[in-house]
Amino acid sequence: MLSPAEILKVTVHHGRHKVDKPFVEKAILGFIGGAMISLGYLAYIRVVSSMAHEWGSFASFIGACVFPIGLIVILMAGGELITGNMMAVAAAFFAKHVKLKELLYNWLVITIFNVIGAIFVAYVFGHVVGLTEVAAFKEETILVAQAKISASPLQAMISGIGCNWFVGLALWLCYGAKDATGKFLGTWFPVMTFVAIGFQHSVANAFVIPAAIFEGGATWGQFLANFFPVYLGNIIGGAIFVGGFYYYAYRNDPKLQTDEEAQVK
């Protein structure tokens, strides 16, 4: 495992690299990122629905254990997820390797294609294939979506902070791990924890709330009213609580200052 200062310079390097990708690459990887998170959430719904009657609340924990597959695929196979970029690109911004305009453009493009990927999964796999349409699965989808949209804007924002504090840490640990097993476990535990707690993730919500909409259990107005405060909370959780805090904690560490390998020219 790398030291925290070494993880910081790797994170800054990744943040710069994310900004440098051409638009088409951002779009494709953003779509993949939104789709993978959504497929992880779809797996959560299927598992919880199948186990709820026999296992009760423990079924939610098993579902939380399944959900991280989405971010694991994104980080280890390729993909761009806005909640991760909120941390990594922000760290590069704090280190003055990325300009504000570049940060905002990256966040905008990745957000748009994450949402497209999420709604694609909700409609094609959830509604058309019927994976959220069958009785028990439909009930769980609407129940989860209603729990998200019933939160007040302040609650949704604070929940978004908690979520992306954990997602940012998942990236941080993944970047710091030296082998595939370490990356897998470093990603899995923080993501499992935020799902088990019930924190809100803007891209995951862009799957589950539209999935409920397609089944007649929510509205697009409710989705938008939820998305923006959760998104703001995700920014604070990832950019400030992880990228910002760790940058200002470790920016003067000798390991960060002397090793120029990961610095972007």
Q: What percent of the chain has pLDDT over 90?
A: 88
Q: Is residue 74 part of a domain?
A: yes
Torsion-angle region of 259 (φ positive above 0: left; ψ -120 to 50: alpha; else: beta): beta
What CATH number does residue 221 fall under? 1.20.1080.10
Q: Is residue 50 part of a domain?
A: yes
Please indicate, yes or no, if residue 264 is contained in any of the structural domains: no
The whole-number average pLDDT for the span 27-44 is 98
* Residue 117 domain-assigned (yes or no): yes
The number of distinct structural domains making up the chain is 1
Does residue 264 carry a pLDDT above 50? no
Kindly tell me if the per-residue pLDDT of 139 is higher than 80. yes
Examine residue 230 and state whether it is found in any structural domain, yes or no.
Answer: yes
pLDDT value of position 225:
98
The predicted model scores a pTM of: 0.94
pLDDT tens sequence across 95-122: 999 999 999 999 999 999 999 999 999 9
Mean pLDDT, the chain, integer: 94
Q: Does a structural domain hold residue 263?
A: no
At 260 the pLDDT is: 42
| Closest alpha carbon to 155 in 99, 232, 102, 250 | 232
Both structure tokens of 193: 């924890």
- In this predicted structure, the answer to whether residue 251 has a pLDDT above a threshold of 60 is yes
Region 234-243: mean pLDDT is: 98
Q: Which domain holds residue 103?
A: 4-258
